[in-house]
Amino acid sequence: MKLSKIRSKSLNSSLSLPSEKELQRYGGQSRVQKADEDGLFALRTVRDSITGETMGSEDLDAAIIIARFRNTAERHGLVNFDFMIVASDSLQDPSWQLRFFPMVHFDNDSIPLAPVYLTGYDFRRSQLRAYGRYEDYMNGIRRDSSFFVDRIQSEAFSQRFPVCDLSESELEKHFRRNWLVQYNAHKVARQESVRKKLLTNPLAGSEIRDDATGKSKAQRFVYVYTQSIPSRRNLSKFTLTIRTQIYDGKKVIYHFPVSSPITYYVSSLSTLLDRNLLETHPDDTTYSAGIKALSEREWERALELLAPYEDYNTALAYLSLEYNATASNLLESLPYESAGIHYLLALAYSRRGLEAQAVEQLKKAVQMEPSYKYRGNLDPEIASIINKFSLFKEDDYSIDNFL
């Protein structure tokens, strides 16, 4: 009956990006409203301040993903991002298991993330009963050989013949109940077949990110998913989708269409390098190799090559490896001024908790080069002070102004 309702309403999975204000107000669940009489959640209409798109205006979704941040940063060769999986009670049934399969997509390939399961209350009870039966079976297998000895006959023999030439092991062998040994050996041999027969729906292993148990009365399910993926050369964005399935314990009984994707924009410090400085070292292969290492995000090698030059790109290499104080000192000592220097100082000061200095340097960078106000929205260290101190509120933050 419930499955028919899901099919008749053409429920689907979707992805969305809430605004920062909504995240603060609703704690990351801003686009999920109170359920209607059918137990469905209507999504708010949201205009994404980055893409300008209006998303999810009238959709009724059984399972949705809510990304907590639209921008993410590459740091130390990793890209960190998170999102929320939300399933309304209309999608849940005590006898079902909901399976969510997130997928990250790049230009030329995709990588699956570990699935998340939401297991119905009755489904879980059935699983645990099966494990209980299997545990009883395993406990019935005897490991101690003394169990197979007929103790009554053995003790009667010892009382009748207190002096005997037979050793204890010979006595045990003489009074061993061979039929019981054979029965026990039969149970040992059947361990695997019994396991497969009883545990038709085994509990989730390490390949599953989480396997939550639903309540006896279905409630909205929320899972915050945090993930790190290796960065790639020239990675500027990637997308995320999710597939949702309903499994009844024997087979998948319903496949939801793959959700619409959401996009994460990736910022990397490598895009801040100053190639113009190559002109000051026209025939220096070491400096050129250092710039190449920076552009390819080989941070340790870049610092090794650029450290002797003590210029802007050297400071960028220090920042890429979190040597923030060293980078600050180097940038402050440079004999010239540029928007890039002020921006890197803002980033370094923000990381060090020197927010007033970070704001001052960011304003100087934007005054000299306005595009840095949009770049700042891509770097979490800068975005945090932009939001905290309400900087540049009058400006349009469309991503097109920067990319």
Domain topology for 2-119+214-268: Immunoglobulin-like (2.60.40)
Please give the chain's pLDDT, 403 residues, in tens: 678 877 776 665 555 554 455 445 444 332 323 333 333 222 233 333 333 333 332 233 456 666 656 778 998 889 998 888 888 888 889 999 999 999 999 998 999 999 999 999 999 999 999 999 999 999 999 988 888 888 888 888 888 888 777 777 877 788 888 899 899 999 999 999 999 999 999 999 989 999 999 887 768 888 888 899 998 888 889 999 999 999 999 999 999 989 888 889 888 999 999 999 999 999 999 999 999 999 999 999 999 999 999 999 999 999 999 999 999 999 999 999 999 999 999 999 999 999 999 999 999 999 999 999 999 988 989 999 999 999 998 665 444 454 4
54-55 and 46-47 strand pairing: antiparallel
Q: Alpha helix (H) ranges present in 31-144?
A: 121-139
Label residue 120 exposed, middle or buried (CB < 10 Å: 0-12, 13-18, 19+). buried
For domain 269-401, which architecture applies? Alpha Horseshoe (1.25)
Q: What are the start and end residues of each CATH 1.25.40.10 domain in the chain?
A: 269-401
How is residue 94 annotated by DSSP? T
Distance separating alpha carbons of residues 99 and 91, to the nearest angstrom: 11
DSSP 103-133: EEE-SS-EEEPPPEEEE-HHHHHHHHHHHHH
Q: What are the start and end residues of each CATH 2.60.40.3880 domain in the chain?
A: 2-119+214-268
Q: Please, which residues have CB within 8 angstroms of residue 174's CB and are 6 or more apart in sequence?
A: 166
How far is the CA of 379 from the CAs of 70, 109, 266, 329, in angstroms? 11, 26, 9, 21
Distance separating alpha carbons of residues 83 and 68, to the nearest angstrom: 5
Distance separating alpha carbons of residues 253 and 319, to the nearest angstrom: 51
What would the pLDDT profile of 185-224 be if each residue is shown by its tens digit? 999 999 999 999 999 999 999 899 999 998 877 688 888 8
